[in-house]
Chain A
Amino acid sequence: MIVGDRKPMDEILEMLEPYENILILGCGTCVTVCLSGGEREAAILAGQLRIWGKKEGKNLNIMEHTIQRQCEKEWVDEMRGHVEKADVVLSLACGVGVQLVAEMYEEKAIYPGLNTTFMGYPVVHGTWLENCRGCGNCVLAHTGGVCPITRCAKSLLNGPCGGSQDGKCEISKDTECAWQVIYERLKKKDQLDWMNSYQPPRDWSTAGDGGPRKSVKIEEVID
């Protein structure tokens, strides 16, 4: 899923300062599952803003609404009535959702309530780990299902650097060395050949370095 963290309260208040009719817009998919921007978090933030408004002596109208997905036009279009009542929308979706809402309501002030962080899964309840950078050229078939592009701090392709020790990455004792994990997995499967052979430089043009990417499924395109 796409993981995000709510922005610091000071930054949110700075964005919302000029407005009175505020819509807190939750998203029902990834950010709900990662507990940062769903219905529950929208309600919590709305409550905090109401208390802040009272303290500041402001006459605020804080509204909450959550849609299934802010990254699909149909859902974003359906909530038009809610958006029209507000001067500002604070979207708790990932950056994708914020951008689509901003595109479909160009005349409105649309602000992000989250910092979108990465694609990952929870390792224990409340802790998510980055697993995928969407590099456009997946190597997981060769690396025991562990992504070195994402999980190696240097995105190395030819095995661990000299800073790998006791299973940890040189950057922190809290970070696993991805290549240690890959080595152990491949050893178990008796598939060390790929790791033991030279891997040439990557084509990063698929990874966003070739400019913004587009995915076209030609058979699905309706003219």
Chain B
Amino acid sequence: MKAGSNLEKILEAGKFAVTSEIGPPKSANANVIRKKCGMLKGFVDAANITDNQTAIVRLSSIAAANILLQEGIEPVAQMTVRDRNRIAIQSDLLGAAALGVKNVLCLSGDHQVFGNHPQSKNVFDIDSMQLIRMLKDMRDEKKFECGDEMDVEPRLFLGAAANPFADPFEFRVDRLAKKIDAGVDFIQTQGIYDVPRFEKWLNEANDRGLTEKVYILGGVIPLKSAGAAKYIKNKVAGMMVPDEVIDRMKNASDAKQEGIKIAIETIEQLKNMKGVHGVHVMAIEWEEKVPEIVKESGLLPRPTA
């Protein structure tokens, strides 16, 4: 065991993992997080805590992860390289590990032009690839990025993102291979609507033996409306939504229910794909729907690690 997290144990045992996501509030209100924990408890193996997603200031991911620990849900603390240099990241993750956080997701982070402080200075001292390697070396070699040694290392199960829908497509499996080489343990993919494109990426990863070296959790984002589907297709860089999905949302009598149905169907497909080891359900500001999605996908009860 690398970190001994619940998520790691479930994946190591060869069981199909379920993770979800909690977006912290744009305030110091801990109760928002506690309420979302109440919705997810018993339905997921771990929950990601986003790190100022879309560069909008929110309660800190590590502080929120600590609240999850108090509530009995295992956190995956997201960490971007947008806002912190290597000094701050190492320090924050030593702190996270000391609090009992055992999973981290290493990300570049959305550029700050998208957020509510577009005039801020970004950092990008290291990139997400280098973040993975840095945390691996801290864990496995007990070494800081500079090479200095430490007594007690942060035992972290290391995650990263993969986006089969971004370009250049031919490089996307190469990039996965690089993340594996850097030391990643699990991958959560961008939200999947274009299943054939995802399969194309996955098949190449399978052919290259990569899915035997890393756990892949397929990303699923339930749609709330046809408008949201169109917005994601046209406005969100690095995402793809096929026209038939948009049409289904448009023609549905109950669009929200149709969105849930599409998510469940996608999970059913993912469950049967070689090389997929779990799902990551991102119900953005819709966390209350996660139990229904997990239940209807036949993924209950969640195994005890």
Binding site for B on A (CB under 8 A): 153-172, 177, 180, 183-184, 192, 195-202, 204
Contacts and interface: CB of A to CB of B under 8 A. Distances in A.
Interface stretch (B30-38, B124-132, B149-157, B257-265): B124-132
Given A164-B168, A166-B167, A170-B110, A158 B190 contact: no
A123 B262 CA distance: 46
B64 to A, nearest CB: 23
A202 B170 CA distance: 26
A207 B111 CA distance: 21
Given A161-B108, A201-B134, A154 B168 contact: no
Given A158-B130, A170-B237, A201-B125, A196 B167 contact: no
A123 to B, nearest CB: 21
B143 interface: no
B298 interface: no
The 5 closest A-B CB pairs, nearest first, are A162-B163, A170-B237, A158-B129, A163-B237, A161-B108
Contact of A159 (B81, B110, B171, B238): B171
13 contacts: A153-B111, A153-B113, A160-B175, A163-B111, A163-B238, A164-B238, A165-B237, A180-B168, A183-B171, A196-B177, A199-B130, A201-B86, A201-B145
A46 to B, nearest CB: 33
Interface range, B side: 35 or more
A198 B166 contact: no
B205 interface: no
Contact of B129 (A164, A183, A198): A198
Residue picked from A158, A172, A180, most chain B C-beta under 10 Å: A158
A20 B256 CA distance: 69
A164 B165 CA distance: 9
A160 B174 CA distance: 11
B130 A157 contact: yes
A199 B129 contact: yes
Contacts of B109: 154
Contacts of A168: 237
B182 A162 contact: no
A165 B114 CA distance: 16
B274 interface: no
Contacts of A197: 178, 181
B122 interface: yes
Residue picked from B86, B171, B174, B238, most chain A C-beta under 10 Å: B171
Nearest to B237: A170
